[in-house]
Chain A
Amino acid sequence: MQAATMEQVEEPPSLLWGLDPIFSAFARLYVRDILQMTESTQVPGIYFYNSHPISKVDVLGTVVYKREREDFFCYGVDDGTGVINCLCWKSDLLKGQEDPGKSKGQTSDGALRGFNPVTELKKLRQSQQNRCHVEIGELLRVRGPVKTARQQREIKASTYYKVNDPVMAVQIAWMMEVPQLYRVCYDKPLQLHPTATGDPAISPLSKATNIIKNFCQQKSVTRFRPYDVQDLLQPLISTGPQTTSADMEPVAGPSASQQLRQLVKKVLVMLQDEGLIYRKVKSQDEVYHVTAQDKDLLIAVKDIIKEDSKREKYAEKGCHILHILSAVRQRYSLNVSKAALELVLKSLECNSDIVSTSDNHYTVF
């Protein structure tokens, strides 16, 4: 009882269900678990096993009960842990069974002529019918959504068929596989809390990098100093002390301003690694240039390629990126990284200022 009430409390909001891969899969649960899982209070027809939202299941078991109605069969399926009712609608194939006698003449004709699609189709339908007629004691596989009707849980079969298993190979394989599935998927709790999605160490950092990227793009910033962007990241520190405390534990409780400075440092390193910013001159005054907005750098690179492509050595293939890099470092700034240069080359190429002749080679026409 206690477990049941606890699960109810922990029911994740329906908006997040889709993030659980089990939600859109046919879960191979034991019948016992299907009978015991709690129904969602938000959306009837969705159930929770270990706070995983379950919409449809996949069951294999022996038929121990059978009832036939005009439109459907009701099979009791026993998988050794429980018995569940399966509502299996008859297809039109099963209802229209008078046809075979009517068209007997045609079938013999077809047999004479060899391959006849009509007879083949008939054979296919016949075997399909046989597969849908299940007797007590036979093995049945059912997939479909779970439903609760008159306080009884049942599976509304979307697919069902008889399984031919004379030496129990299918059953044994199933019995070996299902515990494994439980251990790997169903019994593993899914962390769907919006604050803790993904790697906790990355999420605040990636948020911060996105903020800076957007800022540079929207305001067409050409260069900035760390304290210019520090205020932008302030909200990340003040709103999420709990989330950041986990991954900053080794620092032994730094103050908010220290945390902020550290975050800015990390973000700047990341942006430099990506080549989005670089420092033209390494001095006391920390000035970061935004690569994409640095017209001087663009012109410098273009000029280098234009000049060097004329040289005999590069005339045929164009200049290699490493050659351009060393030239840029010699003539423009020592601190331009390869990543930054790649960005510059890409934007120049997009404007058709330069042309790439092959991988990593560029020229100007």
Chain B
Amino acid sequence: MLPAAAVFHFPWEVNCGAVQEGESVRTFGRWVFVTKGHRLVSYQPEESRATLSAQHASKEHNVVIHTLFVEPFNPIIGAQYLVLGETENAEGVGVMVHARVLNCVDGVNIALLQKAINEQRSFFRERECKQGDAAQPADAT
């Protein structure tokens, strides 16, 4: 069976949103595509746990990654990574991403990637608005 689509999310969204959304994310089995210049800051192979960190609005955001499914991989401390996986509220660590894909993308143009993600989001928002407008008069008649 195919897994659900992994939607792009910025690391700070995973962290902040997860506090409220953590439960629903897990129960509905939604998958999260985490990105935006995560730098690998630590890796504990014995626990299969890595920590990625990103800066946003002068704050440091950490995301804990469960790496069991993607091992063995070559951890480069300080390099940028792209994670694709499922989020889970783990005890003690908060939100943890069970990585299905962990790609080193060191050298990626973060600003451009962020722009592309926002572009895609605004496109979908625009379209949903339009569809909503179109549906309403149809309902009324």
Contact = CB atoms under 8 A, between A and B. Distances in A.
Interface residues of B, number: 37
A78 B113 CA distance: 17
A76 B3 contact: yes
Interface stretch (A172-180, A191-199, A255-263, A290-298): A172-180
Interface string B2-14: 1111111000000
Interface in B110-129: 112-113, 115-117, 119-120, 122-124, 127
B101 interface: yes
B131 interface: yes
B138 A2 contact: yes
A80 B8 contact: yes
A3 B135 contact: yes
Interface residues of A, number: 32
Contacts of A78: 3, 5-6, 84
Nearest to B120: A175
Interface in A51-103: 62, 64-65, 76, 78-85
Which of A3, A81, A137, A171 has most chain B Cβ within 10 Å? Answer: A137
Interface of B is mostly: mixed
Given A64-B6, A81-B7, A175-B117, A137 B103 contact: yes
Contact of B101 (A31, A79, A85, A137): A137
Contacts of B116: 171-172, 175-176
Contacts of B115: 176
A187 interface: yes
Contacts of A183: 123
Which of B4, B33, B120 has most chain A Cβ within 10 Å? Answer: B120
A182 B124 CA distance: 11
B135 A32 contact: no
B135 A2 contact: yes
B109 interface: yes
A166 B119 contact: no
Contact of B3 (A31, A65, A79): A65
A225 B22 CA distance: 84
A172 B113 contact: yes
Interface in B50-108: 70, 82, 84, 100-108
A93 B105 CA distance: 31
A84 B3 CA distance: 10
A83 B3 contact: yes
A6 B134 CA distance: 12
B105 A166 contact: yes
Contacts of A80: 5-8, 33, 120
A167 B6 contact: no
A156 B109 CA distance: 33
A32 B102 CA distance: 23
Given A62-B84, A83-B4, A83-B5, A167 B108 contact: yes
Contacts of B104: 166
A229 interface: no
Contacts of B107: 166-167
A304 B106 CA distance: 82
A214 to B, nearest CB: 44
B57 to A, nearest CB: 22
Interface in A119-145: 136-137
A62 B123 contact: no
A117 B106 CA distance: 37
A6 B102 CA distance: 43
B5 A179 contact: no
Interface of A: 2-3, 6, 31-32, 62, 64-65, 76, 78-85, 136-137, 166-169, 171-172, 175-176, 178-179, 182-183, 187
27 contacts: A32-B5, A62-B101, A64-B2, A64-B6, A64-B84, A64-B100, A78-B6, A80-B33, A81-B5, A83-B5, A136-B100, A136-B101, A137-B100, A137-B102, A137-B103, A166-B104, A166-B106, A167-B107, A168-B108, A169-B109, A172-B112, A175-B117, A176-B116, A176-B119, A178-B120, A179-B120, A179-B123
Given A62-B101, A64-B100, A137-B100, 4 more contacts: A2-B135, A81-B7, A172-B113, A175-B117
